[in-house]
Structure 1
Amino acid sequence: MPPRIRRLLRIALAVTLWAAVMAGTCVAGVAVSMRDSYPGPVRAVPAGGWPPAREVPRERPIAQEASREQEQPSVRETPSATAPVRTGVRRVSVRSAPPGQIKVAVVVGASGSVTTDVLGPYEVFARSSRFFVYTVSARREPVPLSGGLRVLPERTLAETAAGETAPDVVVVPAVVDPEGEAEAPLRSWIGRQAARGARILGVCAGSRLVAASGLLRGRSATSHWGVIGPLQQDYPDTRWVRGRRYVEDGPVTTTAGVTSGTVGALRLVERLAGIAEARRVGGEVGYPGWSPDASTAIPAGEPALEDLPYALNAAFPWFEPVVGVGLNQGVSEIDVAAAFEIYAGGSFAARAVALAGTTVVTTRHGMTLVAEPADGTAPAVTRLVAPGVGTAREVDPALVRWAAGRGVAVELPHAGRAAGESGFDPVLRDLAAHTDLATARATAKYNEYPIEHLTLTGPAWSWRPTLLFLLTALGAGLLSYTAVRLMPR
């Protein structure tokens, strides 16, 4: 073989080895990030056992019948420069639902669910007295949520299959394995609830679980911008729509990414409880730019260079900070979601650990969260933040004592929050200040959260994962060069 050909082959082999080492490192890093994002089993059941579930109201509203009168066939307008395409049910005047609470079941997948997909819609519905909201899963045992949180479902699928405990609305979040065997009972349950007349709200990539349940055939739907391509390939019998905050098609509503579930839930509050109630709840949760009359059009996301910090954080998690999220009794669900989503699950900028004075924390509207007790067995943390707390006096004394013993301060990202401001705004500002601007902006994009109204300050770039990438690239280069040099000539 001519020497020139041999040199070219050796160079090609060196490049291939370098690429293989880099790819293997990135795959391993993403696996570590995903493993750390979903916590393992709880260490022990509380001495008194898990708290009992709240009693479900027995009166059944005729929510579906009232709302069906408002629906018209799907409308599609010819697109133009000034008139975006509208897909779904025509907006008409909404008559309030009849007396009696409307039951909303927020699904929690056995394989794990996205935190904000669960907690965001839960708080929206629970802020209205017209709704009774509960979590449901295959078994009544703690299940993981992204970012490092666990939730104890109030009821099982079997308990809510039919009768007075069956839901009128089902919220379907993104789950880890929507088409796997572990979620087969959930898929069947969702299909049965839809068949008996329940409305379905698919949040973010929860649209895949809705599609796998057979409910999107022949319908229009949307999802997170990053998964619409694969969904189009796997479910071609669904009309997948890009660039919409939510899409309605009959009794099925699907939303864009993560925080869009809040807007989708507000739309159902408007449909089932009236526009005045939706305005009141929407004003309380403070989603930027939301109003009942706001356009559903949003930027159609695409992968871009600006997403690099998100990818680097996911692929190079080593030496990342550990953020302890201190949970207080009665904390807002959306404030909790913001902490776990922005610091960890939706950014991979840190690993988050749920800490509390007791194992069980009950949120403002009755959701049961499971945390690591703030004692001698709790893991070490780089920072300790207490979401949803305005002053230091409101922090659980057990958390204060634990932090003092560990030499860390209790930080309050929501202190000084403006009236009507979303719980996500202060945490994004805090992420930018403690991590970097590029990571904060990429995190907002992947959570499909608008930040045009925010002033973010902090370092320009995320150097920890960048340096790890450069060191890995250098090490892979040296390894491949040495391997090729040692080959027989």
Structure 2
Amino acid sequence: MCRPLLRIFLFVLLSLPMVERADAAPASATNPIHLPPLKAGRARPLIAIAADNAGTETTDLILPYGVLKEANIADVVIVSTHEGAVSLMPALTINPDMTMATFDTAHPGGADIVIVPALHDSSNATVIGWVREQSGKGAAVVAICEGAWIAARAGILDHRAATTHWYALDEITRRFPETHWIRNQRYVFDRNVMTTVGVSASIPASVALVEAIAGHAEAKAVAARIGIDSWTIAHETAPFHLTMGRMWAAGRNALAFWEHETLSIPVANGFDEIALALTADAWSRTYRSQAIAATGGGPIQSRHQLVLVPDRSAAKVSPQLQLPQAPSAKALDHALAGIAGRYGKTTADLVALQLEYARN
């Protein structure tokens, strides 16, 4: 999930009371996305992806970036709270394109679309204020996974329907009762604000944005290139829940520190940012392994100009993981199969649970 699973383990051990469940709602066939008109003087949308330098969820940020860049139907920039590299969680480090202050100076009218990933600090006042301002300037806001906390705290989910990661639904319902929290729907669009379920929803939600911007044919072409068949809202929340078996697996892996290992992923200029994000994210959620990127030098660029900052210790780390020679989105299935082979099916299922991903 978007926050460390060990939190859940301790949560259950301490027997804290559960808050009431969010309202259930059946998934319909579609949830049409109607984006606002482009700001004056623009030929195509300007999309800003918000990032907190101190901690931003890996796939929540990189997957929308990769999908939208692949479609090439918008200008996409990563904007950070301050200068310097952005630490992603649970893996990787990247360089942003600019700070929020620089973006505001360059684009006083604001973005057309703002994407908000889950952040390590979901109470970050800088990001909350910036998202609120962008929404006030007419930008559509897309909150990926627990990015919903930022949107809710910015006040832009009041009296709207929304969703988020399965684990956060109960707590966020209690904290923000003015929002109608939805289950069993992969993403929800309500009056210029889009929210999604867990981490794995970032790809279909991003393809849905492509469709809203450029039409169904373009979305279908992008989906085929990255390796997904569908980007509908269809989703079942019920399978994603805590069990004693899952809690035991999390605790066992976390506490068996003598079995922990660091795994490097060799990458070079032109690497597939979607495949890397899915691979590094999944392998860093086992509570037995941490994935790092090995570049053999300084910062390098992905095939869509994402700047990756290598881990300094990567050259000394083995064994190595390999990115699959397959469409980008297939990297998650490949990683889960590798995790099952190395650590067992229970650990692979634990990773899929955190990502809110229904394994094939």
Pairwise TM-score range, normalised by the shorter structure: 0.7 to 0.9
TM-score normalised per structure 1: 0.63
Q: Which amino acid aligns with 1:437?
A: K
Offset, 1:271: 1.0
Distance 1:428 1:378 in 2: 22
Distance 1:252 1:95 in 2: 11
Q: Is it true that 1:207 corresponds to 2:167 in the alignment?
A: no
Partner of 2:272 in structure 1?
A: 332
Residues 250 and 385 of structure 1, relative CA distance in 2, 3 Å threshold? same
Residues 421 and 256 of structure 1, relative CA distance in 2, 3 Å threshold? closer
Larger radius of gyration: 1
Q: Which amino acid aligns with 2:236?
A: I
Q: Answer whether contact 1:149 1:353 (CA < 8 A) is retained.
A: yes
Uncovered stretches (5+) of structure 2, i.e. residues with no partner: 1-5, 11-23
Q: Answer whether contact 1:97 1:273 (CA < 8 A) is retained.
A: no
Distance 1:95 1:320 in 2: 48
Offset, 1:295: 4.5
Q: Is it true that 1:363 corresponds to 2:306 in the alignment?
A: no
Q: Is it true that 1:147 corresponds to 2:90 in the alignment?
A: yes
Partner of 1:70 in structure 2?
A: none
Residues 249 and 306 of structure 1, relative CA distance in 2, 3 Å threshold? farther
Q: Is it true that 1:320 corresponds to 2:257 in the alignment?
A: no
Distance 1:364 1:327 in 2: 11
User: What percentage of aligned pairs have identical amino acids?
Assistant: 26
Partner of 1:349 in structure 2?
A: 288
Partner of 1:167 in structure 2?
A: 111
Q: Is it true that 1:384 corresponds to 2:320 in the alignment?
A: yes
Q: Is it true that 1:304 corresponds to 2:243 in the alignment?
A: yes
Distance 1:423 1:252 in 2: 29
Partner of 2:122 in structure 1?
A: 178
Partner of 1:130 in structure 2?
A: 73
Distance 1:433 1:135 in 2: 36
Q: Answer whether contact 1:283 1:420 (CA < 8 A) is retained.
A: no
Residues 227 and 439 of structure 1, relative CA distance in 2, 3 Å threshold? same
Q: Cα deviation per residue 1:308-367 (whole Å; 9 max; x = unaligned)?
A: 3234334544430111122211111111111211111x3323022222122202111111
Distance 1:195 1:125 in 2: 24
Q: Answer whether contact 2:163 2:195 (CA < 8 A) is retained.
A: yes
Q: Cα deviation per residue 1:42-77 (whole Å; 9 max; x = unaligned)?
A: xxxxxxxxxxxxxxxxxxxxxxxxxxxxxxxxxxxx
SS at match of 1:259: helix
Partner of 2:169 in structure 1?
A: 228
Uncovered stretches (5+) of structure 1, i.e. residues with no partner: 1-25, 31-77, 388-413, 453-489
Distance 1:320 1:152 in 2: 28
Distance 2:115 2:346 in 1: 32
Q: Which amino acid aligns with 2:321?
A: V
Alpha-carbon RMSD: 2.8
Q: Which amino acid aligns with 2:250?
A: Y
Partner of 2:230 in structure 1?
A: 290
Distance 1:220 1:202 in 2: 13
| Superposition map of 1:468-483 within 5 A | none
Offset, 1:94: 9.7
Partner of 1:277 in structure 2?
A: 218
Distance 2:256 2:330 in 1: 30
SS at match of 1:247: strand
Q: Is it true that 1:112 corresponds to 2:48 in the alignment?
A: no
Residues 282 and 94 of structure 1, relative CA distance in 2, 3 Å threshold? farther
Distance 1:96 1:168 in 2: 8
| Superposition map of 1:193-272 within 5 A | 193-272=134-213
Distance 1:277 1:91 in 2: 16
Residues 273 and 430 of structure 1, relative CA distance in 2, 3 Å threshold? same
Distance 2:329 2:129 in 1: 39
Residues 311 and 117 of structure 1, relative CA distance in 2, 3 Å threshold? farther
Offset, 1:239: 1.1
Distance 2:74 2:134 in 1: 17
TM-score normalised per structure 2: 0.85
